[in-house]
Chain A
Amino acid sequence: MDEIIPFETGRRFWQKVAHGAGETSVGKSGAGEGGIEPLDPMVLAAYAEGRLDPAAAEAVEIHLLTDSEALETLAAIASPGHRAIDADRLIARATALVPNVPSRPADRIVPLPARTSGLRAYAAWGAMAASLLVVSLVGFNVGRSAEHALDPARYQAATDLPDPTLTLFPNDVLG
């Protein structure tokens, strides 16, 4: 059975090996310093809540070895002592950042009146089609009558056609 190594002994030993170490030197800097790429806050938040799978969690832990800032953040989240601070002035300032009006254009558009539907719509379309038909027939007849009146000779041939009743019933037959 191995003896239990006291933390004080461990601390002295760790300070001797870790702070002279090349390969596994533990970073004292935070993300954003010394070229350390900061962790995505969403990934760190998921790690803090234990929602990452083991492989992703291990990747975060490897990152944490060189990012003391992220470690401190995790410690801050883990420790329950959030002090109550009066935030009234901050609330007033931050609320003013975004105008308190609906920003969606759709909210400012006056809607069109609702369309009629059903029989009323069919009746309207039917009336419109009937009117168009009547206007077409009247116009056609007026034009034809006017043309006839202006040039009667042109329509003489039409009137000279044999009367079909005479073909079927010659005058001699009819007497």
Chain B
Amino acid sequence: MFRREGAYFESFGLPASAPSLSSDQQNLARLLAGDNTAWSAFVERYAGLILSAVHRVIGLQGDAEDAAQDVFVRLCKDDFRLLRQYDPTRAGLGTWLTIVARSVAHDGIRRRRAPTVPIDDAPESALAVQPPVLPEKLKIPPDLLSPRQQLVLTMLYDQDMDVAEISTILKVDAQTVRSTHHKAMLKLRAHFKESGER
């Protein structure tokens, strides 16, 4: 069933004529309303962004162009089912497409990462189970740190992000990131000093 173009604009919460829509959004609205001629404009507009996003995930692990093509295949599959999930009132199309492209690229890596080898063909050494090396166990109580504090520590120390990156992602200034880190560390120190676990 094809929707009227005006009805699609109305579903964006905008008047049917939608004079305030950007040309990109008008093009997308035309595409989703059934005008396939808008597809080529959409591809030309976003191919570079999608290829770049995919390239940053895949790097040298595969053909970024094939992965980017896979993104476009998914976007137009089943009468643009995935593309219809985009909501312009919640985020920009470029941001959403970057997230979708990276997700598709990660899926591709996961598919390639797990090649199946018949067990008879596997060498004996590959089947040997190595004893796990257990780290010294310390436990952080679940409510000791706030989610924001945990996230800052994770981004700093597990993701190796710098303060500027974190402040951009969390939409706070750099001093707030440093302060959050400091408070979290004080809480952890105090907890382990009191419990004598160190």
Contact = CB atoms under 8 A, between A and B. Distances in A.
A64 B161 CA distance: 14
Interface in B167-198: 168-169, 171, 181-182, 185-186, 188-189, 192
A3 to B, nearest CB: 9
A64 B147 CA distance: 9
Contact of B153 (A10, A83, A87): A10
Given A17-B140, A46-B91, A58-B148, A32 B55 contact: no
Interface in B69-120: 69, 72-73, 76, 85-87, 90-92, 95-96, 98-100, 102-103, 106-107, 110
Given A32-B110, A103-B34, A7 B156 contact: yes
B24 interface: no
Interface in B8-37: 33-37
B7 interface: no
Interface string A72-86: 111111110011110
Contact of A85 (B55, B73, B98, B151): B55
A83 B52 contact: yes
A32 B113 CA distance: 13
A32 B86 CA distance: 21
Contacts of A106: 2
A42 B91 contact: yes
A11 B157 contact: yes
A21 to B, nearest CB: 5
Contacts of B87: 42
B90 to A, nearest CB: 4
Assign chain A's interface to a size class.
Answer: 35 or more
A161 interface: no
Contacts of A90: 47, 50-51, 65, 68-69, 72
Interface of B is mostly: helix
Contacts of B72: 90, 93-94, 97
A76 B135 contact: no
A129 B159 CA distance: 87
A17 B198 CA distance: 10
Contact of B158 (A33, A48, A61, A68): A68
A95 interface: yes
Nearest to B37: A100
Given A75-B165, A91-B43, A101-B36, A50 B86 contact: no
Given A49-B92, A85-B51, A87-B47, A26 B158 contact: yes
Interface in A106-149: 106
Interface of B: 2, 33-37, 39-40, 43-44, 47-53, 55-56, 64-65, 68-69, 72-73, 76, 85-87, 90-92, 95-96, 98-100, 102-103, 106-107, 110, 134-142, 144-145, 147-148, 150-151, 153-159, 161, 165, 168-169, 171, 181-182, 185-186, 188-189, 192
Interface of A: 2, 4-5, 7, 10-11, 13-24, 26, 28, 30-33, 38, 41-42, 44-46, 48-51, 58, 61-62, 64-65, 68-69, 71-79, 82-85, 87, 89-91, 93-95, 97-106
Given A75-B165, A82-B49, 12 more contacts: A10-B156, A14-B188, A22-B139, A23-B139, A32-B106, A32-B107, A41-B85, A78-B169, A91-B43, A91-B44, A94-B72, A98-B76
